[in-house]
Amino acid sequence: MAGRGDPPEGTPEGLPGGEDEYRAVVFDEAFVRAAHLQEFSAQERMGEHALAVRNRPGPGGRRAGSGQALLLVLLILLAFGTAVYLGLRNPYQPPLDQRAEPLRTTVVPLAPQGPVPGGDPARLLARSPAAEYRTGAAGINLPVAARTTHFSEGQVVTALSIAKDYLVASSLEPDVLAGQTVRPARLLLDPDQLAQFDRSVESPADDGRHALAAWVVRFDPRQVSVAEPGPRVQGTLRFAEVTPDTLDVTADHTFTYALRPAAQGSGEPPAASLFTVHRTLHFRFDREDLRMHRAELLTSTVEAGPQACGTDTDGGLRPLLAGAEAPAKTGPALTDPYATDRSGGPALCGALAPAAQPRP
């Protein structure tokens, strides 16, 4: 009887080579079982598009596919749950941009009690309370930063650095002091305050909102020039978290400038005098401000002298120079711009304490 794979009449004899010639192409039983082929029945093969054979899934194939799909679903659910959990637990929320409030301004001139001392700038500084102050930006030191409940240490450092940058740009930049530009300070302001700042530059007013001297320290270059050495500075920076989305920084600094009358040609330079500006600025930062490196100013209080009471300081400071005296005026209490953390609100005009002037 012929085998299942042989012709009905058996294997022909006498063919060249015999069965040894085709031994290399005969599949063994293990190979055939691994092929997983199954023949269709006669009725199934009658279909128009039926194949002669169909693939037969191996043992456990269907169960393995279902298990892999279930595992994939579980992994997706686990990743989604982890992301939600971390989002709820993360104290550093995405940036929230809040609308900035208008700046509230106060500018107080301090009138001298006698003639303004004059002389060589270095000698004047050596005999003044600013003798030990540092020069320029070196006098604006950042405090030791620490994280708050909702702000990281890095975010606190960023807020303090922006506040320092604004103090430098508005109080120490030579072109700003000389009245040539306000751009360095303007670039650091929240966009919501730019219209108020621009109006203060173009149309200053003593209305508690638009005093230019509250934004920047600026002298009239036709009257005054800043002498060497550069401004002396000393003060403090403090920070505090106000809400989960806002960080406040308070800057309290005293700036001392050596000033001369504007150049009037060649010859011996005129005597210099000292002019002191005490600035207290209250900054507020939301997360978008920190990201964009900009500041919102809430309040600015400036006490500056020697100046005459009643002098219009809305558009800039108007120092009394060496030898000048303020018109006689009674009433204002003595104010020392070198004293910080004073109690009570500022007056409309103050009397410059003699201790704030260089010693004879």
Q: Binning pLDDT at 50, 70 and 90, where does residue 74 land?
A: confident
**pLDDT above 90: percentage of residues in the chain:** 54
Which pLDDT value is given to residue 29?
A: 63
**Calpha distance 349→118 (Å, rounded):** 23
3-state SS record for 214-268? HHCCCECCCCEEECCCCCEEEEEEEEEEEECCEEEEEEEEEEEEEEEECCCCCCC
pLDDT digits (tens, 9 = 90+) for 295-312: 999 999 999 999 988 766
What's the predicted TM-score (pTM) here?
0.70
| pLDDT mean over 132-141 | 96
Token digits of residue 201 = 């530059």
